[in-house]
Structures are given as structure tokens and as C-alpha cells.
Structure 1
Amino acid sequence: MKFGVVIFPSKKIQDFANSFRKRYDSNYALIPPHITLRSAFTATEEEIRDIAQKIGEIARSFEPVTINITKFSSFTPVNNVIYLKVEPSEKLEKLHTELKLNFESDQEYNFVPHITIGQKLSDDEHSDVFGSLRMDKVSFTESVDRIHLLYQLENGSWTVYETFRLGKE
């Protein structure tokens, strides 16, 4: 079974991201807007219980994290993904690193905190959409106090397996 670890931003940020995602993100119906902390990995039901316990321990050792979204950006020329840029912060980086260090990691890319709003776009569509969006002002700042372990259903959609509160309870 496939699993991943994410942060879901507030409804306000999700609604903003979804206003673009429904047009430009082929995964719009499969998962809500999120910041990926640990990309998809495979585990058995038995393995995931131990993994969930460890994620819980890590979450308790971190205080809530502030996320600051500042603009639209893109991963071009690597791929035609448009995203909301989440400014890197020491706490967010440490949380990602702690998850990476505690689990075998075969992550394809470096950690760039972001919320995808468009992907699998043609070169022309990417250029047009990003060309207009990058001029827009974006400013969201909020504190996030939960991370989520997700699993993928047979239809390709993702759902929460377990939620972990950051900080001591």
C-alpha cells in the first residue's frame, strides 16, 4: 500500500489553491491541497503501525510550524508544475529532515515546500498560465499544528490514515 506524510493548510488557503487546481491540476479530485513532507512510499499494514508510531513521536517533539506563502512559482524546466511557494523555514526544514532521517528515503527531488496548483501542463499552457499568475500578489501566513499520514485508495485518491498533533499534548 502507498503512504505519504503531508501538511494540510487552512480551508482559506485550500480554497484559494483549489480555485486554480480545478483547472490546472490533474490530481485535483484525488487529494486536497497540501505540502508534502514525505513523498509516496510503500509499506505493509504491519510496517505502517510502527511507522505511524514513529511519526507520532517525531510530531510530539516539534512545536507548531508557521507557513508563509509568498508567490506563485514553477519547477520548469525540470517539469511543468506551477505551485504556491511556501517559504522555507528552519522548523519546516527540520521536520522534513527528521522524517527523512527516520525512514528510508528514496525521494526523487530535494525538499521544496510548496502547494501544487498545476501540473502535467503542455509547454504552451504552462507558459501562458505561469506568465499571468507570477504577476499576482500572494500572501498567507498561518501556524500549522498537525501533520497527516495518508494512504492511497485503489481509485488513486488519498485519504488520512492518521493525524498527529505537533507539540506535547
Structure 2
Amino acid sequence: MKYGVAAFPSKKLQDLANSYRKRYDPHYELITPHMTLKEPFEVDATTIKDVAAEMLNIANRHKPFKLHTTRVSTFSPITNTLYFKVETNAEVVALHEDLHSDFFGGMPKHSFVPHITIGQKLSDTEHADVFGQLKMAGIDHEEVIDRMHLLYQLEGGSWTVYETFRLTGDDQ
């Protein structure tokens, strides 16, 4: 089964992201707005309990972190994806690295760019038009994220929470 790890922002930021995702993200109905902490990975039913136990250990090592979205950006020319850029900070980088330890298969193929997707799979023309508009509108939102979620993918492609872990930093 396919799993992933994400942090969900506040309802206020989700509502703002969804105001764009409804129009510009074909995955709108598959998952709520989120910041991916670990890309999808395959785990069988016998191993998922070990994964959840390790995620609890990780949550106990990390304190809540600040999520600060500062602008709209894009992954163009690689993909026509638009997103709210999340400012990188030491806490979120450390959490990301812990979720990519040898236990979880090591570091990912791509560098970590903290973000919340608001549009993807746009045509070149639509991407340029929407990006130009959103870049001028801007965003400046700050909040604290105090939990991460282990998600799994259902048959129809949608994602749901398997387990939630509160970031406590108790083991520091």
C-alpha cells in the first residue's frame, strides 16, 4: 500500500489554498492542502506498525515548527506547478531529514522545497497567466504546525490519515 507523510496547515490557509486548487489543481478532491514531509512510499501491512512506531519516535524528537508562507512560486520549467512557498527553517529541515533516515530508505531523489501546492498540470499559457496574477497578489501567512500525519492512498487515488503524531520534542 502507498503511504506518505504530510503536515496540514490551519483551516484559514487551507481555505485560501483551496480557493485556487478548485480551479487549478486536478488533485483537489484527492487530498486537502498540505505540505509534504515525505513523498509517497510503499509499505506492506506487516511493516506499517513499525513505520508508525518510528514516526512516534521522530515526533518525540521534534518540537512544533513555524510555517511561514511568503510568496507564490513555481517549479517551472520542470513542471507547471504553482505553490505557496514555505520559508525553510532548521526545524522543518531536521524533521524532513529524520523522515528520510536509513529506516525510511534514505534521502529523496529531489531536494526538499517546503511548499503547499495550489495548482498543477496547467498548460504553459494558463501557467504563465495564473502565475503572473498570483505573484502580484502575494501571500504572507504564519502559523505553528504541531503535528504530522501518516497518510495512505485509497483505491480511488484519494488520501486519508492513517495516524497523527504530535510533535512534542520530549526526547530532546
TM-score normalised by structure 1 residue count: 0.97
Matches within 5 A, 1:100-111: 100-101=100-101, 102-105=103-106, 107-111=108-112
Shift, 1:46, TM fit: 1.0
The residue that corresponds to 1:68 in the other structure is 68
Q: State the one-letter code of the partner of 1:153.
A: L
The residue that corresponds to 1:21 in the other structure is 21
Matches within 5 A, 1:106-145: 107-145=108-146
CA distance in 1, matches of 2:109, 2:75: 14
CA distance in 2, matches of 1:109, 1:154: 26
Q: State the one-letter code of the partner of 2:20.
A: F
Q: State the one-letter code of the partner of 1:109.
A: H
Q: Tell me if structure 1 keeps the 8 A contact 2:7–2:36.
A: yes
Name stretches of at least 5 consecutive residues in structure 2 with no aligned partner: none
CA distance in 2, matches of 1:43, 1:92: 24
CA distance in 1, matches of 2:108, 2:97: 12
Matches within 5 A, 1:1-169: 1-101=1-101, 102-105=103-106, 107-167=108-168, 168=170
What is the aligned residue count? 169
CA distance in 1, matches of 2:64, 2:133: 34
Structure 2 residue matching 1:110: 3-state secondary structure: coil
Deviations 1:2-57, CA, capped at 9 Å, x for gaps = 00000000000000000000000010000000000000000001111101100110
CA distance in 2, matches of 1:39, 1:105: 12
TM-score normalised by structure 2 residue count: 0.95
Shift, 1:106, TM fit: 6.5
User: Percent of pairs identical after alignment?
Assistant: 52
Cα RMSD (Å): 1.2
